[in-house]
Amino acid sequence: MSLGLPALVERLTWKTFVKVFHRDPGGSLRGWNVRLVQRGLDGPLEPRLRRGVPVAFGHYRVVTGEAVPGAPPGALLLDYGLGGNAPWDPVSRLRDPLVSLGPGAPLLGTSLVAVGARLVRTPSYFLLEDRGRLELPIVSPPRSPRPGRGVGL
């Protein structure tokens, strides 16, 4: 669930979404976002379809958050720059640090934008909660992911 976005931006984008996590045979942990039909915070998780296939976008690799200034110890980072997105795709500039709010609690994330060598905070926050298993196809990134600071999770 997205938090902190202006209402107009939410109406143009989404409030609820799914982040898929997948471990590749080589051991790296990666993922992507899936658009949902907007049914409210407690509504069913229904992927938005295009030609019968869930709409996937924003591929990322899960790495340690050590390189993120101000990230708490143990934070993870969803690095969209390593996820195989096209270099001209604005999402490739995103870095989302995630922290645990406690055992069984949702994960809290925020979005940072890479501008040159700097990471600039955005007003966007999100919660990731486990709503159960959702059967979705494995999606390949648009391009071959860049090698990087992978972490064995």
Check residue 150 and give its pLDDT: 41
Query: In the chain, where are the structural domains located?
Result: 2-128
- Give the pLDDT band of residue 38 (cuts 50, 70, 90): confident
Question: Using CA atoms, how far apart are residues 142 and 139, in angstroms rounded to an integer?
Answer: 9
- Give the pLDDT band of residue 152 (cuts 50, 70, 90): very low
Check residue 72 and give its pLDDT: 73
| Residue 82 three-state SS | helix
Write the pLDDT tens digit of every residue in 101-115: 888 898 998 889 999
Question: Using CA atoms, how far apart are residues 141 and 139, in angstroms rounded to an integer?
Answer: 6
Q: Tokens at residue 139, please?
A: 């999606």
Closest CA to 83 of 10, 21, 153, 13: 21
Q: Which is more confident, 64 or 132?
A: 64
Q: Return the number of other C-beta atoms located less than 10 Å from residue 30's C-beta.
A: 23
pTM recorded for the entire structure: 0.81
